[in-house]
Structure 1
Amino acid sequence: MRVSESSVKRWCDRGLIPTIKTVGGHRRISVESLAQFLRDTKRTLTDPDKLGGYDEPVVALQPAPVVSDVSDEVGTFTTALLNGDEATCRQIIHQAYRRNNSFIDVAAQVVCSSMRLVGEMWESGRTDVLQERYGCEICFRLVNELAQYIQLPSSDAPLAIGCAPPGDQYQLPTHLVELVLRETGWNARSLGNNMPLKTMLDVVHQYKPRMVWVSISTIEDRGVFVDAFNDFAKQLPKEVVLVAGGRAMDDDLRPRLNYTAHCDNFYQLAGLASAMLTRREA
């Protein structure tokens, strides 16, 4: 490729070229990983014979231009997640936050976009459950690092409480909702995932939140869930705004559920939360 060894090391550090750790602690680049990198960056090898059969044309190209848009950022972040490269993920996510000092941007444009890709890859068999679950753990730790930059809610901030329902094994989405709402000025608290809705109802009656959210990523039995959710919604105090969202909220499920508002993304959620604050202050 006519580039320096330091450039190759830097690409590996950033996750642009996936590597495999050897027993001795060294990094090894597979032919498949290198070939994918060459295709993605429109580069070719100057001496492919050294790879033992790599048959791309022998042409020396100038280094590919550096792409700094969000899609490239998401791609690099996703690759790093799948490699378990937490250091690269941390660098990307903090850089994304510093662009606009906005956690909502990080949640919507980087974390959600990347985890959606990882989920699709897992469903199609291109990655395994360990990579998917460990990727969630890395994201969870990193968003908690960013949480320290979110201003604490005022003493009179309205309360919002939420969870992921029974059978939903994903804690990250409902945690992201909490932090997005906190950034918009709410006193938001996530009760975690796999939460019985009856328990959630008891919490609502005890603490009297203004908003309740249910983040729905996976559902074990749709019929059972619809009945439980609608029973939960029916028993909520009338003044409580019930917000539903998540990956499982598709065109089949949405019409079957009773809720106050549905949000497809965190920008819609932030807009709703801000509008409620404005009406409250008016």
Structure 2
Amino acid sequence: MSRGFAEDRPYISTLEAAKALGVSVSTIKRWVDVDILPAHRTAGGHRKLMRSEVLALARQGDLPREDLARLAVPIRKSDIDVKAVADALHRALLEGDVASSRAVVRCSYEAGLPIETLADEVIAPVMAKVGHGWETSQIDVWHEHRGTQVCTAALFELQTELERRAESERPLAIGAAPAGDLYILPSLLAQLVLLDAGWEAINLGGNTPLESLSKALRALRPRLVWLTISHLEDVEGFVSAYRDFHREADRQGAAVVVGGRALIEAVRARLPYSSFGDRLTHLGTFARTLHPRPKRPNRGRPRKV
């Protein structure tokens, strides 16, 4: 497998985790007992840790790190060949290879590639390349549609994993793409970025009227709302509906984050918002600023009460 992908061994022992993090085995067991580290017990009663979960906590800065190479994965983005990842995903999507597409997405994330980077530097350019192939008749539209569905399936699988190991106490974010915008991936990627940043994120999907999003605001009372705007059919109608929506968000005390390729400067200048980003990295940074994750114990034994 190419450099930058994790080896296919999902579980590690408490000893392996202790050596990677630079703490004692007893500390690892104690962290398991107080739910700092999720663990699974074998039939013989031994604790096994998901390698991806240990890596995720270390990558968030919540755990010490002594020698993460023992987990057989790189921790820095610089250790991952992003172009090779993008090339592998592009090939898999064009071939309709679901298994390979899922492996590229999952292994890249588990190898330490942030979801924002995966979105901005892998998935976005790959999907643009697929779309260009259709526009220039290098591939047929069915190839493009199939590739989109395969990519979406891979991201849904990653979403399931992020939800499975999410914190129980999280602020809520909701988001969508406006009416007439049928693109699926941008809002789904925004949801994944927020899940990874420690939020509960509800994606209402594409083609969502802003009036309906306002109703969701009143019912769910989120702390943050995102809006991905990849296509606008009626700019004037959108601006008018958006202003009504933003007034509702302001009344509810929700931050509003907007972005997307259709949100050109001339349109954006007419909109009020809390934050704007033309990359999902901006969304992740804003979300982590709005809700910093609580810090875990740095190392050693938790204090006795």
Match of 1:278 among 292, 297, 300: 292
| Matched residue, 1:37 | none
| Matched residue, 1:83 | 95
Determine the C-alpha separation between the residues in 2 that align with 1:158 and 1:102: 20
Q: 1:191 aligned to 2:204? A: yes
Q: 1:180 aligned to 2:196? A: no
- Shift of residue 274 of structure 1? 0.4
- Shift of residue 145 of structure 1? 1.5
Distance 1:251 1:126, change over 3 A: farther
- Shift of residue 101 of structure 1? 6.2
Q: 1:115 aligned to 2:121? A: no
The residue type paired with residue 112 of structure 1 is: A
Q: Which sections of structure 2, spanning at least 5 residues, go unmatched?
A: 1-79, 296-305
Q: 1:243 aligned to 2:257? A: yes
| Matched residue, 1:159 | 172
Greater mean alpha carbon deviation, residues 80-89 or residues 172-181 = 80-89
1:219-234 maps to which residues of 2 (within 5 A)?
A: 219-234=232-247
Q: Is the 8 A contact 2:102 2:157 kept in 1?
A: no
- Shift of residue 132 of structure 1? 2.0
- Counterpart of 2:111 in 1: which secondary structure? helix
Deviations 1:89-136 (A, max 9, x none): 223223312321643333333222211222333344443332222211
Determine the C-alpha separation between the residues in 2 that align with 1:129 and 1:256: 35
The residue type paired with residue 167 of structure 1 is: G
- Counterpart of 1:167 in 2: which secondary structure? coil
Indicate the RMSD between aligned Cα atoms, in angstroms.
2.5
| Matched residue, 2:27 | none
The residue type paired with residue 84 of structure 2 is: D
Determine the C-alpha separation between the residues in 1 that align with 2:96 and 2:115: 22
The residue type paired with residue 252 of structure 1 is: A
Deviations 1:15-70 (A, max 9, x none): xxxxxxxxxxxxxxxxxxxxxxxxxxxxxxxxxxxxxxxxxxxxxxxxxxxxx732
- Shift of residue 265 of structure 1? 1.3
Q: Is the 8 A contact 2:198 2:293 kept in 1?
A: no
- Counterpart of 1:278 in 2: which secondary structure? coil
Q: Which sections of structure 1, spanning at least 5 residues, go unmatched?
A: 1-67
Determine the C-alpha separation between the residues in 2 that align with 1:189 and 1:268: 19
| Matched residue, 1:129 | 141
Determine the C-alpha separation between the residues in 2 that align with 1:112 and 1:101: 15
TM-score by length of 1: 0.69
The residue type paired with residue 223 of structure 1 is: E
Q: 1:261 aligned to 2:297? A: no
- Shift of residue 279 of structure 1? 10
| Matched residue, 2:66 | none
Determine the C-alpha separation between the residues in 2 that align with 1:258 and 1:116: 29
Determine the C-alpha separation between the residues in 1 that align with 2:216 and 2:177: 14
Determine the C-alpha separation between the residues in 2 that align with 1:147 and 1:191: 14
| Matched residue, 1:24 | none
Deviations 1:214-237 (A, max 9, x none): 111112122222222222112323
TM-score by length of 2: 0.64
Q: Is the 8 A contact 1:97 1:105 kept in 2?
A: no
The residue type paired with residue 272 of structure 2 is: N
Q: 1:93 aligned to 2:105? A: yes
1:29-108 maps to which residues of 2 (within 5 A)?
A: 69-100=81-112, 102-108=114-120
Q: 1:204 aligned to 2:217? A: yes
Pick 1 or 2: higher relative contact order, CA cutoff 8 A, min separation 6. 2
- Shift of residue 242 of structure 1? 0.6
Tell me the number of residue pairs that the alignment of Structure 1 and Structure 2 aligns.
215
Determine the C-alpha separation between the residues in 2 that align with 1:172 and 1:180: 12
The residue type paired with residue 103 of structure 2 is: Q
Determine the C-alpha separation between the residues in 2 that align with 1:137 and 1:101: 22
The residue type paired with residue 250 of structure 1 is: I
